[in-house]
Amino acid sequence: KVIFSLNEELQLNQYSKEIDAKVKEAIDKNQRDYFLREQMRTIEDELGDGTSDVHELDVLREKLSKSLMPEEYREKVDKEIERVSRMPANFPEANVQLNWLEMVINLPFGRVDEEAIDLENARTVLDRDHYGLKDVKQRIIEYLAVRKLKFEQGETSVKGPILCLVGPPGVGKTSIARSIAEAVGRKYIRMSLGGIRDESEIRGHRRTYVGAMAGRIMQGISHVDTDNPLFLLDEIDKLGSNFRGDPSSALLEVLDPEQNNSFRDHYVEIPYDLSKVLFITTANSADLIPDPLLDRMELISISGYTEIEKMEIAKRFLLPKQIKENGLKKEQVTLPDETIRKIINYYTAEAGVRQLERELATVCRRIAIKIIEDDIDHYSLEAENLEKFLGKRKYFYDEIEKEDLVGVANGLAWTSAGGDTLAIEANILPGSGKLELTGHLGDIMKESAVAALSYCRSRVDLLKIDKDFISNHDIHIHVPAGAVPKDGPSAGITIVTALASAISGKKIRHDLAMTGEISLRGRVLPIGGLKEKAVAAHRKRIQEILIPKDNTRDIDDIPESVKKDLKITPVETVDEVLEIALLK
């Protein structure tokens, strides 16, 4: 027993010595680390680097004392600084916490830039950089007017509008946002949303994740160091969603004026006020934006440019820019209006002006070669020489028929590249009353053709045909350019006119075009895109167009140069259409 007791005492004594040795070693290491850190700090102070963690924490404390952060969150940040100061220098969490502290303390927290509330200067800036876009410019001027009145009444905080600019590519949605920022005196941030599928891009990652960082909203605010920038959310209709979350749902809080005064980023963790930010979003199609998100924004539609508008944009902005970028001087290059018009009509097919700018750049480069090789001081590119510079024409516009024909009616269509005309042909063949539709037509257009046939069946007296005529004949309706998909209800009155002409044998006026949806009872219903359609008719030298009576409100949108040469006739019923279109 005595031996066992002695063995136990010896083992306990051995363990005690080992523990004492380990404790002493740990204490020595800590003392050594502390001594080395103090040495490093002293050396850095002598050298003037000041890059140590201790120095960083001192800088952060100083920034925190000057920050406008709310008091209830200041205490939390203070505790984090103290916590980091007690961590060893090589402790992994120290860097994570330092990054978080830098992000939070560097946020502006109510610091704002002084806005420019000069309406005249704002108009000048907006008109200097962009031609047209009247609705967008008007809305910004309205905002500034309200801002000025509120300011005079002593109200300094005015919620900015949340605008959504919807229009085809290349019409200037993104570029006008930068001009708006300059006009209202705000810093500019752009965030492209195209292809974003991860909610954390908007809200940030939680700090527990490796490599966590704030969302791009808070990063943008931190970058410009002000709480009232202009924030452009580009291509909002291109947002996706997957197992990482739905970014469009995360944007609901950002773009809601009732909620964004306490936006909570997962990384920052402190509620942040975004109500002073002027948010502008852009999209090519409002149909692709989720309804709850669309409901939170003020929609401003931007239509494609007309030929006349493109002419002005080319002369005022695009051509001078390309002349400068290609090493030329203004006095060395001349492009007559007819040359620019041919470039627009035969080398581009777009609603915007991006392709037009590329073609003008090509012209300027070729002129640069001409000036150098021929040793000349000036070159004027006439329309007849355009093919030598740009090659064969890329696009063609079908000319309208030169004479009145039976069963051929001119319709008006809206496309992503603007307006266009299309001829709809109808033919009557012996048969059993079948209806054949060709030309790559969509379901809606096919239904319009069925409705047109039903109307013709109900109006055999007006067409002066036998009531069994349609039952004993097959009807073939064709829309040329069969490789191009076509859809929409606006060709209704064109189809019924072509059908009525083919059935009755009466010719249709070749200088007339039309657009409008039809009902079974023969009413002409309203359509969209009237401005683009009218411009297309004017380009084809159409003399008169028939439009639904409910679209008379849209006539003001048509350029004056088009209205001057084009007769616009509102109609209410198909009977009126046939009375005007069919020759006696």
For the annotated catalytic residues, the residue numbers are: 490, 533
Rounded Cα–Cα distance for residues 109 and 33 (Å) = 38
Q: Residue 467: which residues within 8 A CB-CB, separation 6 or more?
A: 460
Q: Which residues pair with 289 in a beta bridge?
A: none
Strands, sheet with 408-415, edge to edge from the N-terminal-most edge strand: 435-438, 473-478, 418-430, 408-415, 512-514, 544-548, 567-571
Report how far apart, in Å, the C-alpha atoms of 508 and of each of 150, 516, 558, 578, 580 are: 60, 17, 26, 9, 9
Q: Among residues 555, 561, 533, 563, which one has the least CA distance to residue 420?
A: 533
3-state secondary structure 158-213: CCCCCEEEECCCCCCHHHHHHHHHHHHCCCEEEEECCCCCCCHHHHCCCCCCCCCC
The two tokens of residue 540 are 């084809």
Cβ-based neighbour number of residue 15 at 10 Å = 10
How many residues are given for the chain?
Answer: 584
Q: Among residues 342, 366, 359, 346, which one has the least CA distance to residue 170?
A: 359
3-state secondary structure 477-542: EECCCCCCCECCCCCHHHHHHHHHHHHHCCEECCCEEECCEECCCCEEECCCCHHHHHHHHHHCCC
